[in-house]
Amino acid sequence: MKPHSLRLYMFLSIAAALVTMAVKFTGYFLTGSVGLFSDAAESVVNLAAALVGLWAVTLSERPADDDHTYGHTKSEYFSSGVEGTLILVAAIIIVVEAFPRLFHPAPITQAYVGLIFSAFGAIINGVLAWFMLRAGKRQRSITLEADAHHLFADVFTTVGVFVGVLLVTITRWNILDPIVAILVAINIIWTGIKLLRQTGLGLLDTALPEEDIAVVQRVLEPYRKQNIDFHAMRSRMAGRRRFVSFHVIVPGRWTVLRGHSMCEEIELAIHAALPDSTVFTHLEPKEDPVTFQDIELDRTPAVE
């Protein structure tokens, strides 16, 4: 997927947020339900998150420069971090609005009309979230995935509010309205915490997932059969970009040219198997006495 395609999804997310905001706030003003207010408030967060996501996706596609020699892909973590924070803020607003209603419940007016508006907004978000999640996983874009998960959370929120308002209308138990709103806020808080955790793991240079490491190992296996060894493997992720480094251990009688050519061949093979990856290799002779020491934990050999 090209960069402009990623931005297209973010523009669609912005448009969807504007439409759902108008639809859901209309439903809230018609009914006065704090449950519907909680649903509408999350749409405001959707808009802010989509705007930040557009900025992050645009910045992440900028090429490496003198100040950012590894590129700008980590900018996507700022997007998911901001989105997680905004989600928590929205949850607090919902609780502040709903808590007084626990002690002073208010009736809901024109409930069915409000539910129709809310359901229409949920359909828009659900369809867009499905496409964005597929694109995000395919392109390993944390921005698209975060926005998709947020939109899905919004859909689940709408479903919860829909059921709550419907129960209020049927039972006339007005206190169910603020209770549903608070339950929605708790669900939103959980979504925000997960996004912030994902952001933190990315900023802490989390290693590649096991399935990616397995791909690297499969690429290296044929070379092991050629009496070439590998160790000191390290990996990290920076948005969509993957970084892998390891030592390549060859017989000491090899020429520099032969060893260099072998390293380049291995790097290209891994890059082909793992797109958007940067591979660093370090050539070592088998005869080096420190080659097989335990340097995986960055232990420096003692100097006597």
Domain 210-285: which CATH class?
alpha beta
Residue 97 pLDDT exceeds 90: no
* Burial bucket for residue 89 (CB in 10 Å: 0-12, 13-18, 19+): middle
Estimate the crossing angle of helix 75-103 against helix 142-171, to 10 degrees.
10
Residue 255's SS3 state is coil
Q: How do beta strands 229-238 and 241-250 pair?
A: antiparallel
pLDDT tens by residue, 31-46: 777 777 777 877 787 7
Verdict on whether the full-model pTM lies above 0.85: no
Confidence (pLDDT) at 265? 92
Give the residue-averaged pLDDT of 223-236: 87
pLDDT tens by residue, 80-93: 787 778 778 777 87
More confident residue, 141 or 266: 266
Q: Which fold is adopted by the domain 3-203?
A: Alpha-lytic protease prodomain-like (1.20.1510)
For tokens 């290209």, what's the residue? Answer: 268
Do the two domains 3-203 and 210-285 of this chain adopt the same fold? no
What are the domain boundaries of the chain? 3-203, 210-285
Confidence (pLDDT) at 198? 73
Confidence label for 293 from pLDDT (cuts 50, 70 and 90): very low
Give the residue-averaged pLDDT of 255-276: 90
Confidence (pLDDT) at 202? 67
* 8 Å CB contact between 87 and 45: yes
Confidence label for 165 from pLDDT (cuts 50, 70 and 90): confident
Q: Of the candidates 261, 258, 262, 229, which has an alpha carbon nearest to the alpha carbon of residue 246?
A: 229
21-29 contacts: CB < 8 A, separation 24 or more?
21/46, 21/47, 23/117, 23/118, 23/120, 23/121, 23/124, 24/117, 24/118, 24/121, 26/117, 27/113, 27/114, 27/115, 27/116, 27/117, 27/118, 27/121, 28/114
